[in-house]
């Protein structure tokens, strides 16, 4: 099983379906999906998932891989995926729950233990004989992600490549509403406070995607009044050889010193220098590429540290102008 050659392909209605899964369940599901040839009809044969493959691919403990695989299969069998289909006659949206699998077996043998399964007939139209409105994910990339939400978000972002093409060297923008993401990922009622959502879910997820996949993502909040209602993501496909957008630089950590000290000032000046170089590279790459609003706000803080009022004023004016030119977007 060569990971780099495996793909996970789903119809977009299924990709954007609403369901809640654990990490083990997500991993089992993708391991099964990676065995499908989405161009062909659903085969009569069943799919076999081996604990040894599960352990090797995901790096889980060999002594527990059998149990994890079996428990994930059994629990996922009971969890539906909800999709939303427009009714052609009435124009209303129908909520449809589908079962992932129609059959599940467990073969217990010291050498050839395996979970054996078949995808359900109702979910099959979103997995087989796909000709349009589908998204293909590189299995090696999603196998490196270690939270269900990071896998879901990565899939939603990659979907945009089908809509806009690879756009050599250009960033792809995707705006997703907070409530939409919570619903689709089975997180309704969780992370309701934006600060909680950002610190505990969004930022760690973006770090995972940037460190482990083929895309480089930046983001900024979209507000309605004073309330954050959505996130605008912008990413470059690093697997495209023409993509050469400068990556956001790593910044030195703030030293553990007293505010207003000389060391804090040196740190702030170094951060300003790094971002000045980054901005120059962005301009050389594409004059329409700008620093993210979150980074502009960091610049204001650094200018404040060193007492550069002119720098603060100029950057705050840029933030205000950018906000006026950026209307809130819907999913």
Write down the pLDDT at residue 41: 95
C-beta atoms surrounding 39 within 10 Å: 10
Domain boundaries, the chain: 1-143, 147-245, 262-325
Q: Are 83 and 94 in contact (CB under 8 A)?
A: no
Query: SS3 letters for 116-178?
Result: EEEECCCCHHHCCCCCCCEEEEEHHHHCCCCCHHHHHHHHHHHHHHHHHCCCCCCCEEEEEEH
CATH architecture of 1-143: Orthogonal Bundle (1.10)
Write down the pLDDT at residue 45: 87
Hey, is 189 helix, strand or coil?
coil
CA distance 87 to 155: 26
Write down the pLDDT at residue 10: 96
Residues 6+ apart with CB under 8 A from 210: 216, 217
Write down the pLDDT at residue 281: 78
* Equal CATH topology for 1-143 and 147-245: yes
Hey, is 61 helix, strand or coil?
coil
- Residues 135-158 pLDDT 10s: 999 999 999 999 999 999 999 999
> For the chain, what's the residue count?
331
* DSSP one-letter string for 230-297: EEEEEEEETTSTT--PPPPPP-PPPPS--TT-HHHHHHHHHHHHHHHHHHHHHHHH-TT----HHHHH
Per the listing, tokens 């054996």 go with 116
Which of these, 33, 31, 18, lies nearest to 58 by C-alpha position? 31
CATH, domain range 147-245: 1.10.10.10
C-beta atoms surrounding 101 within 10 Å: 17
Under-70 pLDDT residues of the chain? 1-2, 110-111, 164-169, 240-245, 284-289, 325-331
Rounded to the nearest 10°, the torsion over CA 150, 1, 162, 246 is 60
Burial label for 52, CB within 10 Å (0-12, 13-18, 19+), is: middle
């Amino acid at each position: 099983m060569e990971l780099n050659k495996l793909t996970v392909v789903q119809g977009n209605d299924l990709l954007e379906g609403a369901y809640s899964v654990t990490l083990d369940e997500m991993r089992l599901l993708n391991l099964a999906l990676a065995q499908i040839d989405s161009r062909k009809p659903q085969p009569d044969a069943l799919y076999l998932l081996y604990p040894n493959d599960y352990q090797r691919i995901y790096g889980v403990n060999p002594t527990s891989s059998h149990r994890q695989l079996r428990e994930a299969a059994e629990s996922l069998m009971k969890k539906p995926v909800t999709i939303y289909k427009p009714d052609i006659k009435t124009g209303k949206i129908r909520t449809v729950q589908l079962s992932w699998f129609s059959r599940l077996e467990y073969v217990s043998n010291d050498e050839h233990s395996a979970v054996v399964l078949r995808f359900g007939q109702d979910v099959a139209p979103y997995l087989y004989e796909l000709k349009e409105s589908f998204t293909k994910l590189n299995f090696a990339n999603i196998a490196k992600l270690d939270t269900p939400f990071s896998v879901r978000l990565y899939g939603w972002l990659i979907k945009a490549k089908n809509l806009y093409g690879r756009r050599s060297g250009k960033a792809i923008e995707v705006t997703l509403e907070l409530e939409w993401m919570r619903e689709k990922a089975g997180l309704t009622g969780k992370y309701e406070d934006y600060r909680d959502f950002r610190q505990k879910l969004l930022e760690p997820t973006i770090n995972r995607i940037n460190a482990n996949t083929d895309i480089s993502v930046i983001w900024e909040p979209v507000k309605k009044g004073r309330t954050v209602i959505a996130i605008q993501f912008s990413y470059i496909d690093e697997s495209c050889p023409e993509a050469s957008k400068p990556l956001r630089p790593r910044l030195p950590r703030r030293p553990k010193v007293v505010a207003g000290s000389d060391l804090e000032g040196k740190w702030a000046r170094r951060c300003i220098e790094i971002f000045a170089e980054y901005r120059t590279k962005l301009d050389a790459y594409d004059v329409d590429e700008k620093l993210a609003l979150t980074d502009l706000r960091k610049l204001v803080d650094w200018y404040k540290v060193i007492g550069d009022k002119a720098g603060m004023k100029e950057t705050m004016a840029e933030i205000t102008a950018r906000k006026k030119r950026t209307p809130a977007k819907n999913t």
